[in-house]
Amino acid sequence: MNTSKKATSALISVFHKDGLEPIVKKFNELGITIYSTGGTEKFIKDLGIDVVAVEDVTSYPSILGGRVKTLHPKVFGGILNRQDNENDVAQLKEFNIPQLDIVIVDLYPFEKTVASGASEQDIIEKIDIGGISLIRAAAKNYKDVICVSSMEDYADFLEVISSENGITTIEDRKRFAAKAFNVSSHYDTAIFNYFNQNHEEAVLKISETNGKVLRYGENPHQKGFFFGDFDAMFSKLHGKELSYNNLLDVDAAVNLINEFKKDAPTFAILKHNNACGLAIRETLHQAYVDALAGDPVSAFGGVLISNKEIDVATAEEIHKLFCEVVIAPSYADDALAILKGKKNRIILIQKDIELRETSVRTCLNGILVQDKDNITDALSDFSNATTTSPSENELEDLIFASKLCKHTKSNTIVLAKNKQLCASGTGQTSRVDALNQAIHKAQSFNFDLKGAVMASDAFFPFPDCVEIASNAGVSSIIQPGGSIKDQLSVDYCNENGVSMVMTGTRHFKH
């Protein structure tokens, strides 16, 4: 059976008209009858091309301020009829319904209207009714109709009809139908999520139309994909394609540096989603040098991120290190030239956009969703638990350490001094193990922990951690508190001149 079809008619009704002109002119060249309405009809007429008004077919005008234009049996009958069904063909003749072989329809820009901060009434008016119905109808009847549902597909469609003089294959029509249902399902998801912003319905709907196949997943034997608009968040200036693991590290780096957005020059170095170096200094160059000193071994192959423009002096230091990714809000021209000296080094400019407010992950045979941990411990959250209070410098270090602790895998302990990460114990099953790991690491890189501070992501069930930390030189501690045995740790601190503040907020990260 021949499944190729030569088009003789088309319905066009679009919001976005960029790129439409060459299609309309091709239709005119091929002798395809064009039906249209409203602004699209005027657009076609202005090109000097004949067009049949939909109102002339339906004998009904556009009503209710344009809310009802194409919702009519003579339109949908022309789309949904089965041309291999004798009864359908007979009814077309009986009711004088024109066959529609091509449907070019897009949708009102609902998501852009929401993002613009428009009023609720304006947003509601951008919920498309006729367009979404036409798209679904044409895509459903792909055996006889080809549906073009987005201006992004205009060039592809024009190539299809131009190459075969208006003839389409069943493969063409089914491919465009898949595109159409992608558009319609994404649109409905966006509308639902707008109405369910407060999550009154315990329903999860996610739709990402931008997808990218990665070289592989976490390991070479795993397939990997990224769904999202990476280009909306970053400008990629140089380097190889980002891998699955690169993207995870970049995500961790961005979330961490956002805590220091308004601080003095801050530099962080991350490996396997955890910071192995972090420092705040008067110059970015010194911030990088001191961040690297936190763990120059782990920094190899890491992801580097800054909250300020990278200058030449900093770039020269970075260039000495093998690193996978460098991220900054901007780069001096000469600095960028230096960093491009390694052909595979990925160089990104981070744009100032809002991150998602929820996190999603698979779990068992379902999905876990939660609000992001958007609480950052501040001085106003501190409750002095001990008779000794932290000094001004210690308070600054406690905030610094707490921000970092929040973005480190649990169980974690962070040791910091003079706004520099000395070491952290990450992802340990025991808080004591995390502390011992941090102390050993700090000492192996010659850090003097006398006067350092300690941050813990959760409370201390026993006083063993504060004792070990005090013996290592730690003078001030920040922790959420909440253990029924908090007083044991407080008593030890009081007896040994160590200050402790509690925040009341736990920062587990798994």
Which residue from 316, 350, 322, 349 is spatially nearest to 335, judged by alpha carbons? Answer: 316
Instruction: Retrieve residue 300's tokens.
Output: 């190899």
Q: Has 343 been annotated as catalytic?
A: no
From the list 25, 26, 140, 319, the catalytic residue is 140
From the list 16, 74, 272, 340, the catalytic residue is 272
H/E element holding 52?
A: strand 52-53
Distance CA 276, CA 294 (A): 6
Distance CA 124, CA 118 (A): 10
Distance CA 97, CA 452 (A): 82
With beta carbons less than 8 A apart as the criterion, state whether 339 and 318 touch.
yes
Print the SS3 string covering 283-295. Answer: CHHHHHHHHHHCC
Distance CA 305, CA 259 (A): 12
CB atoms within 10 A of CB 37: 25
475 DSSP 8-state letter: -
Distance CA 325, CA 245 (A): 11
Please name the residue that has the structure tokens 């601190």: 493
CA quadruple 259, 261, 267, 268: dihedral positive or negative? positive
Here the contacts of 432-441 (C-beta below 8 Å, separation 24 or greater) are 432/464, 432/465, 432/468, 435/465, 435/468, 435/469, 436/468, 437/413, 438/413, 438/414, 439/415, 439/468, 439/469, 439/472, 441/295
Q: Where are the alpha helices (DSSP H) in 47-169?
A: 54-58, 73-80, 86-94, 110-115, 120-125, 130-140, 154-163
Which residue from 437, 388, 389 is spatially nearest to 412, judged by alpha carbons? Answer: 437
Q: Has 450 been annotated as catalytic?
A: no
Distance CA 348, CA 398 (A): 30
With beta carbons less than 8 A apart as the criterion, state whether 346 and 249 touch.
no
Query: Which residues are tagged catalytic?
Result: 140, 272
